[in-house]
């Protein structure tokens, strides 16, 4: 960290949030380096615990959103899921939403006139399941470590 590093403010928002969404494009079959950096910076705090010995991220729900013009959304979401799980986040069913265009095609998700219904319905389910799990975890925290 150094002058101009925005991580401390982002970390504070992450610690205040009940639900955290990591979003990334697919780069060469992997999450972006920026997304990886977020996971690594969260990992730096892995030894910090609450007064009952739980990681500070216990009780937080982790989600993923992936876009790209190549195959790989399942692999990238698996990478994110493993990182989020290692960091103490809980994953709801359907914790990823993604859109993948044709390989070597020039269309980007942001350029679509309308999101495909399959993406819209998946995102809606992701949000509903995440809120449901978050409420359950707030009402029934994980036991002390």
Examine the pLDDT at 102 and tell me if it is beyond 80: no
Assigned domain for 69 exists: yes
By residue range, what is the domain housing residue 116? 7-139
| Number of domains forming the structure of the chain | 1
Question: How large is the average pLDDT for residues 128-133?
Answer: 98
Assigned domain for 18 exists: yes
- pLDDT tens, 53-81? 999 999 999 999 999 876 789 999 999 99
Assigned domain for 130 exists: yes
CB neighbour burial string for 36-53, b if at least 16 within 10 angstroms, e if fewer = bebbebbeebeeeeeeee
- pLDDT tens, 25-61? 998 889 999 999 999 999 998 899 999 999 999 999 9
Q: Which CATH number characterizes residue 103's domain? A: 3.40.50.360
Examine the pLDDT at 1 and tell me if it is beyond 70: no
Higher pLDDT, 113 or 135: 135
Assigned domain for 26 exists: yes
Q: Is 124 in contact with 92 (CB distance < 8 Å)?
A: no
How many Cβ atoms sit within 10 Å of the Cβ of residue 128? 12
Assigned domain for 31 exists: yes
**Residue 144 DSSP code:** P
Assigned domain for 20 exists: yes
């Amino acid at each position: 960290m150094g002058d101009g590093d925005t991580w401390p403010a982002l970390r504070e928002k992450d610690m205040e949030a009940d639900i955290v969404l990591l979003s990334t494009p697919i780069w060469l079959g992997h999450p972006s380096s920026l997304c990886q950096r977020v996971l690594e910076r969260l990992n730096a705090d892995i030894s910090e615990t609450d007064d009952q010995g739980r990681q500070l991220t216990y009780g937080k729900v982790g989600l993923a959103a992936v876009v790209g013009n190549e195959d790989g959304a399942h692999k990238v979401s698996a990478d994110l899921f493993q990182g989020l799980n290692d960091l103490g986040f809980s994953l709801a069913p359907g914790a990823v939403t993604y859109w993948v265009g044709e390989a070597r095609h020039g269309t980007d998700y942001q350029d679509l006139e309308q999101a495909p219904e399959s993406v819209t319905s998946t995102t809606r389910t992701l949000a509903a399941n995440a809120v449901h799990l978050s409420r359950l975890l707030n009402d029934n925290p994980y036991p002390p470590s």
